[in-house]
């Protein structure tokens, strides 16, 4: 980077810069006298102007070119929008005002000329000219609003990816991470309110044989078919979850044992009648599943609750599969 004196630029006008906008002529004369000793920094594209976590208590005003803040977001992310500084704008004011390290790395996006104002000079400008103090307050207000908008955007993006991480990619229903996050809360609420809570554990019957016969792609179709059936048959207040592999789980809030058993029986019969795909050259493959149900008992947590449904599922398998047990 190369430093030149301000007098190398005859076209420089303080009034054209954001910090000195809308200031009376008398104060502009005093401002020009103060910044007459400042330097102009010539920066090539890609070169750093400010390094994060370093002490650089100077204000930089862009005379020509463009600067940008290096984003800490992954490349390609919708939250990775760069903060840019165009001609007339300034950067570095926060570190001058609070005497702390620079929070971000700022580089030249294109070949740029920067007016460099040392901290002592900036403080004198603030003390001598109310207009500079006013413009600086407006600038800081804009910075705060921009930062808040970026934080809100990051929060929305983060929430979007958090929600996506709790959806099973194959079936589109909730996954085990969602179950471990949400079911304990439902259990606690049921214990507090005394309302019933039931679950249905389903496991596709002889799934390995189904895969071996029809192939893994059709096996995925079978899992998707079962998940779609469960999800479309439930109440809006119920939840379908892919527990893992060919195991699915249904959560029924405010549902006691007897109606839960009826729901499981209905699902069992409908699944056995549902074709996986239509093929004119071979018989339609169907799938069945074994179902185990459990209703929340006093003192149960997520582990013992699911274990109860799993034990019932094992009994359904042992009894011949394609049926419901409790």
Residues carrying an active site annotation: 246
User: Angle 190-271-202 (CA atoms, 0-180°, nearest 5)?
Assistant: 40
Q: Are 104 and 69 in contact (CB under 8 A)?
A: yes
- Decide: helix, strand or coil at residue 182: helix
Give me 60's structure tokens: 């930089």
- Decide: helix, strand or coil at residue 188: helix
Those residues with Cβ within 8 angstroms of residue 318's Cβ, 6 or more apart along the chain or in another chain: none
Residue labelled with tokens 């039931």: 198
- E strand spans, the chain: 2-5, 39-43, 48-50, 58-64, 67-69, 84-85, 90-91, 106-108, 112-118, 197-204, 239-244, 247-253, 289-295, 324-325
Residue labelled with tokens 């309110």: 193
| Residue ranges in 75-215 assigned as alpha helix (H) | 93-98, 119-128, 130-164, 176-193, 207-214
Distance CA(67)–CA(84), nearest Å, equals: 6
Burial readout 39-76 (b: 16 or more C-beta within 10 A, e: otherwise):
bbbbbeeeeebbeeeeebbbbbbbbbbbbbbebeeeee
Q: Which of 269, 273, 259, 237 is nearest to 326 (CA)?
A: 259
- Decide: helix, strand or coil at residue 40: strand
């Amino acid at each position: 980077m190369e430093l030149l004196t301000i007098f190398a630029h005859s076209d420089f006008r303080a009034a054209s810069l954001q910090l000195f906008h809308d200031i009376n002529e008398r104060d502009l004369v005093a401002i020009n006298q103060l910044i007459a000793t400042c330097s102009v920094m010539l920066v090539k594209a890609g070169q750093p102007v400010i390094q994060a976590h370093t002490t650089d208590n100077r204000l930089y005003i862009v005379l020509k070119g463009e600067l940008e803040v290096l984003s800490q977001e992954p490349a390609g992310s919708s939250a990775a929008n760069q903060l840019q500084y165009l001609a007339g704008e300034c950067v570095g004011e926060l570190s001058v005002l609070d005497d702390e390290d620079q929070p971000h790395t700022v580089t030249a996006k294109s070949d740029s000329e920067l007016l460099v104002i040392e901290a002592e000079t900036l403080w004198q400008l603030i003390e001598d000219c109310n207009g500079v103090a006013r413009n600086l307050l407006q600038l800081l207000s804009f910075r705060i609003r921009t930062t808040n908008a970026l934080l809100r955007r990051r929060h929305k993006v983060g929430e979007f990816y958090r929600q996506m991480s709790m959806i099973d990619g194959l079936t589109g229903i909730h996954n085990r991470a969602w179950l471990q996050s949400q079911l304990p809360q439902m259990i606690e609420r049921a214990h507090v309110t005394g309302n019933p809570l039931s679950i249905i554990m389903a496991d596709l019957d002889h799934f390995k044989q189904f895969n071996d016969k029809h192939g893994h792609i059709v096996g995925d179709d079978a899992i998707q078919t079962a998940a779609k059936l469960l999800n479309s048959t439930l109440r809006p207040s119920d939840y379908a979850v892919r527990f893992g592999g060919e195991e699915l789980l249904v959560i029924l809030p405010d549902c006691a044992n007897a109606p839960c058993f009826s729901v499981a029986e209905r699902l069992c019969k409908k699944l056995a009648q549902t074709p996986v795909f239509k093929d004119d050259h071979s018989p339609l493959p169907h799938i069945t599943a074994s179902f185990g149900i459990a209703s929340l008992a006093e003192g149960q947590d997520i582990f013992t609750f699911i274990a109860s449904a799993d034990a019932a599922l094992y009994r359904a398998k042992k009894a011949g599969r394609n049926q419901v047990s409790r």
